[in-house]
Structure 1
Amino acid sequence: MDPKFKAIIFDLGGVLLDWDRQAVTNLPRSQMQTMMNSTLWFDLERGRLTLQEASEHFGKTMGIDARTIQHSFEEAQQSLKVNTQLSQVVKELKASDEDLQLIVMSNISQEHFRSIQRLDLPWSLFDFTFASGAVGMRKPDLCFFRHVIDTIGIPPSQVVMVDDRVENICAARSVGIHGVLTGGGSSIEVGQILRNMFFDPISRADVYMKKNAGNHLSAVEGKDIVIRENFSQLLIWELTGDAEIIYLKWPSGKAHAADTNMRIHLNGNVEDGLWNFWYDEPVLTTSEFPPDADTTSTAYLSIPASHFSKMADVQLVIEKMATNIDSDGIMQTYFQKDRPRTSLEVCCNILRVFYRFGHGQDSDPRITQTQEWVVQCLRNKSYVYGTRYYSVPEAFLYFATRLYVECNHEALKRELGSIKEALLERINVPTNALALALRISSCQLLRIGRHCYKNDLDVLRSLQQEDGGWPTGHIYRYGKIGAYIGNRGLATVLAAKVIRYEIELDSK
């Protein structure tokens, strides 16, 4: 739970309770709305009039029999039903922290308030109940908010208010209360907002990842297609250090899910070190699909060294990459002659492998052309629309940031120095959850001040869903048809990592 919040104020009508406007049969909706927005109605809500008196006043001013008006009030009252989804959220909030104060603050006459006591709200969980008809004030009167704050004894900066009227939220915020507007939003969305404000995002993400262990499938956006692929699983393994939650198909062709003790006997052939993107048969592409340098690089960068015995010696793979070049001397994506492709992001990951395993620029001139191309693309912002295989600029910026941080070559660091400026240009640009997590992670790796990406971080936090995971998002795509591919598991572990970093920073 966010320690800065110690109380939540809930409205009744439109929040914890819903009423059916179609239930009022004797008055047109327009007349009901006219009455409910009149000063007479406000006097009723402030307890200055009884229902009988209000009905008579409305009858005289509108030329309608008072009994018809009173019957309409009763129909509206009888149609009230508990919002079960938000009621469940209330129970979860109280169960998570017994010290959290839950408060009802509603514009409602005394007679109507007595009537709704029959409804199955978890009344016992609320520490205070403020009905406008009982206190003689109504929202958005500032005096009503100040009365509530004084009574509960909690500073307004530590209080959250949930209401469906914008004028009430505006008034609440004016006295320092944090307002959450429900108008137009579904109960699921409101519940998600509250869970994200009050529940620990890291533990929720861990529960999601473990619950779906071995089944963190990727999805093709806009199509009812899920796929198993190795690339996302390798990144998840690196980010979590937990092989129990992923599935993989190793270059030998053997697959495993949650089996870290698997034994594979390799003969040292380089083919045993070349990884394929696909775990299952390829989908929406050629049936025969070659291993690629991106998945291969990511494998050697992500898998703990203790598992390297299951793959060919990395030096054999480095030699293979170094000779797999195009006419410009740039290392290519696929280990297949009839697929001549180069990719910025793939080149970043290839270079990371060369530097990780002792083939820096001084000792291996074969990386010169590839390295120069990456630097040139960064300087000229050739990544701004994504690339053939990656759908968002954040993918290149993330992998280029990793190269910048990990390489031990001062000249390359200087040439990649503009990566910070490139990242700052992307701050606050709308994008999907996974790309947003990549952006923030890159900022953290480069020690960019959190004030720069605070809004992005707030957006990312808000995107955590009810089950604890983040939305799928996407960062890569099919080269030929352009369809986007994303993975909820990858988005979740990366989002959790950047949030954990901020929490740890606060604790120091």
Structure 2
Amino acid sequence: MLNLLANIDDALYKGEEWLETNKKTFLSETDTGVSFKDNFADLLLLELSGRWDYVDLRIPERRWHYFAVKPVIVPADYPEDNDTNAVAFSILKPTDSRAKELIDEILACKNADGVVQVHLDPNRPRIAPEVSANILSLFYSYGRGHEVQESLSYLQKAMALEEYQESRYYFLPEPLFFYTWRLLCIASCSTIGTINKKRLPKELHTLRDHLIRRVSARVGTETDNALCPAVRILICQSLGIKNEVDVQILLGLQEKDGSFGKAWYVRY
């Protein structure tokens, strides 16, 4: 145990050193080698680290776009999406009037089943449980979770499955687990990293149970993608689940410079 703790301390030191050295220059990369700046990744980094000096976010006058500069690989008119905007508004907490305007726009993007779609453009009828989790986080953070219960039902069904079903945008279950965990933290009026079961709305208790079951079943898998064990460690730690297996996996994936290599995350 002492040796493990020493290894963790060393990994943290090297990782923090790498973040300091590379702050404000973090880029995403496609599997074809195209690098680009995206707001979505920086927003999540800001939320988890609490460090504005790590990110290069330029707050827009109105809506957020996934791409920080110009879209790559997709058409130049790639639309704004509810996912990025929900994450941004739930983290940055703009004025109530501005938040209400966005939330009302998002409500206008429901499909025939009442599930909020991915894009602010209602003519792009795509849904994904990962996006639903982030939409729900926004609504619960403003006390309006009751207005998107169809999206909650959709997310509940996805999390109730034994096996992950790939969506249009995601091909691994860990992002779904992460966004669901984030929702539970926010909905229980806790800081990111803590789920207060006593304050968690009753309609989300089953979702918590599904998360525990699904994450526990994935421990020790995807050993070549640092994102996966990292997400599972975060969730297990907050839920009191012992998980030394993923800690060892993550330690083994750290590179000499303190980073953890490329971790494929999303597709579009």
Please report the TM-score for the alignment, with normalisation by the length of structure 1: 0.47
Measure, in 2, the Cα distance between the counterparts of 1:386 and 1:312: 36
Which of the numbers 159, 162, 167 marks the counterpart of 1:387?
Answer: 167
Measure, in 2, the Cα distance between the counterparts of 1:429 and 1:198: 20
Which of the numbers 258, 264, 267 marks the counterpart of 1:474?
Answer: 264
Measure, in 1, the Cα distance between the counterparts of 2:116 and 2:208: 19
Measure, in 2, the Cα distance between the counterparts of 1:372 and 1:454: 33
Q: Does the CA contact (< 8 Å) of 1:401 and 1:445 recur in 2? A: no
Q: Secondary structure at the match of 2:209?
A: coil
Q: Compute the displacement of 1:373 (Å).
A: 1.0
What amino acid is the match of 2:22? N
Cα deviation digits, residues 350-383 of structure 1 (max 9, x gap): 101111111132xxxx31211111111111346x
Structure having greater relative contact order (Cα 8 Å, sep ≥ 6) = 2
Cα deviation digits, residues 389-430 of structure 1 (max 9, x gap): 122101111111222343231132135422211111111112
Measure, in 2, the Cα distance between the counterparts of 1:430 and 1:352: 27
Q: Compute the displacement of 1:386 (Å).
A: 3.0
Is 1:454–2:244 an aligned residue pair?
yes
Q: Which runs of 5+ in 2 are unaligned?
A: 188-199
What amino acid is the match of 1:326? N
Measure, in 1, the Cα distance between the counterparts of 2:183 and 2:3: 38
Q: Does the CA contact (< 8 Å) of 1:352 and 1:406 recur in 2? A: yes
Aligned residues: 254
Measure, in 2, the Cα distance between the counterparts of 1:456 and 1:287: 40
Measure, in 1, the Cα distance between the counterparts of 2:257 and 2:70: 30
Structure 2 partner of 1:297: 86
Q: Compute the displacement of 1:248 (Å).
A: 1.9
Q: Secondary structure at the match of 2:35?
A: strand
After superposition, where does 1:303-318 map in structure 2 within 5 Å? 303=92, 305=93, 308=94, 313-318=98-103
Is 1:282–2:71 an aligned residue pair?
yes
Q: Per the alignment, do residues 397 and 198 of structure 1 end up closer, same or farther by CA in structure 2, a change over 3 Å counting?
A: closer
After superposition, where does 1:10-25 map in structure 2 within 5 Å? none
Q: Per the alignment, do residues 467 and 281 of structure 1 end up closer, same or farther by CA in structure 2, a change over 3 Å counting?
A: same
Structure 1 partner of 2:205: 413
Structure 2 partner of 1:144: none
Q: Per the alignment, do residues 240 and 405 of structure 1 end up closer, same or farther by CA in structure 2, a change over 3 Å counting?
A: closer
Q: Compute the displacement of 1:296 (Å).
A: 0.8
What amino acid is the match of 2:51? D
Q: Does the CA contact (< 8 Å) of 2:254 and 2:261 recur in 1? A: yes
Is 1:440–2:230 an aligned residue pair?
no
Measure, in 2, the Cα distance between the counterparts of 1:392 and 1:421: 16
| Superposed CA RMSD | 2.2
Please report the TM-score for the alignment, with normalisation by the length of structure 2: 0.87
Measure, in 2, the Cα distance between the counterparts of 1:428 and 1:397: 15
Segment of structure 1 superposing worse, 231-240 or 311-320: 311-320
Q: Secondary structure at the match of 2:16?
A: helix
Cα deviation digits, residues 162-190 of structure 1 (max 9, x gap): xxxxxxxxxxxxxxxxxxxxxxxxxxxxx
After superposition, where does 1:237-256 map in structure 2 within 5 Å? 237-252=46-61
Identity %: 26
Measure, in 2, the Cα distance between the counterparts of 1:199 and 1:354: 37
What amino acid is the match of 2:153? E
Q: Does the CA contact (< 8 Å) of 1:378 and 1:416 recur in 2? A: no
Max Rg structure: 1
Q: Does the CA contact (< 8 Å) of 1:344 and 1:396 recur in 2? A: yes
Q: Per the alignment, do residues 241 and 465 of structure 1 end up closer, same or farther by CA in structure 2, a change over 3 Å counting?
A: same
Greater fraction of residues in strand = 1
Q: Does the CA contact (< 8 Å) of 2:220 and 2:249 recur in 1? A: no
Q: Per the alignment, do residues 461 and 198 of structure 1 end up closer, same or farther by CA in structure 2, a change over 3 Å counting?
A: closer
Measure, in 1, the Cα distance between the counterparts of 2:90 and 2:8: 36
Q: Compute the displacement of 1:198 (Å).
A: 8.7
Measure, in 1, the Cα distance between the counterparts of 2:216 and 2:91: 27
Q: Compute the displacement of 1:224 (Å).
A: 2.0
Q: Does the CA contact (< 8 Å) of 1:401 and 1:446 recur in 2? A: no
Measure, in 1, the Cα distance between the counterparts of 2:97 and 2:21: 33
Segment of structure 1 superposing worse, 275-284 or 412-421: 412-421
After superposition, where does 1:63-82 map in structure 2 within 5 Å? none
Which of the numbers 220, 242, 253 marks the counterpart of 1:463?
Answer: 253
Q: Does the CA contact (< 8 Å) of 2:137 and 2:186 recur in 1? A: yes
After superposition, where does 1:25-424 map in structure 2 within 5 Å? 197=7, 200-221=10-31, 223-252=32-61, 272=62, 274-303=63-92, 305=93, 308=94, 313-361=98-146, 366-381=147-162, 384-407=164-187, 408-424=200-216
Q: Compute the displacement of 1:312 (Å).
A: 6.3
Measure, in 1, the Cα distance between the counterparts of 2:39 and 2:48: 14
Measure, in 2, the Cα distance between the counterparts of 1:470 and 1:198: 14
Measure, in 1, the Cα distance between the counterparts of 2:97 and 2:265: 29
Measure, in 2, the Cα distance between the counterparts of 1:200 and 1:277: 34
